[in-house]
Amino acid sequence: MSTRDVPAQIGDLPPVGRPANSALMRAGVTSLAEAASLGRLALLAMHGIGPKAVRILEAAAAERGLTFEP
C-alpha cells in the first residue's frame, strides 16, 4: 500500500503523518485507546512511526485521560 492511498487521519487518532498512519492501519489500530494500549515501545518498533508521532499520540491521549502502557 502506497502512503498516497492512506487517509490523512484515522478514526479519532490525531494527524501524525501518512507513514505513521500506514503503520497504524497495518497493525489494525484505528483509535487512540488502541494506540495507548500498545505503548510507546511497541509503536516505535513499527516501521513508519517515530518519536514525533509517539509524542503527538501521547499528548492527545493525555488530553482524553488515557495513559500509554509502559
pTM of the predicted model as reported, rounded to 2 decimal places: 0.86
Nearest in space to 9 (alpha carbons), one of 61, 17, 27 = 17
Nearest-angstrom CA–CA distance, 1 and 58:
26
Over the stretch 12-70, which tens digit does the pLDDT of each residue have? 999 999 899 999 999 999 999 999 999 999 999 999 999 999 999 999 999 999 998 87
The Cβ-side half-sphere exposure at 14, using a 13 Å CA radius, reads 15
Tell me if 58 is assigned to some domain. Answer: yes
Helix then strand count (H, E) for the chain reads 4, 0
Tell me if 4 is assigned to some domain. Answer: no
DSSP H helices, the chain, are 18-26, 32-38, 40-44, 51-63
Q: Which domain holds residue 21?
A: 13-63
Tell me if 21 is assigned to some domain. Answer: yes
Please give the residue that has the higher pLDDT: either 52 or 4. 52
| pLDDT of 14 | 94
The confidence band for 2, taking pLDDT boundaries of 50, 70 and 90, is low
Number of domains composing the chain = 1
| pLDDT of 69 | 82
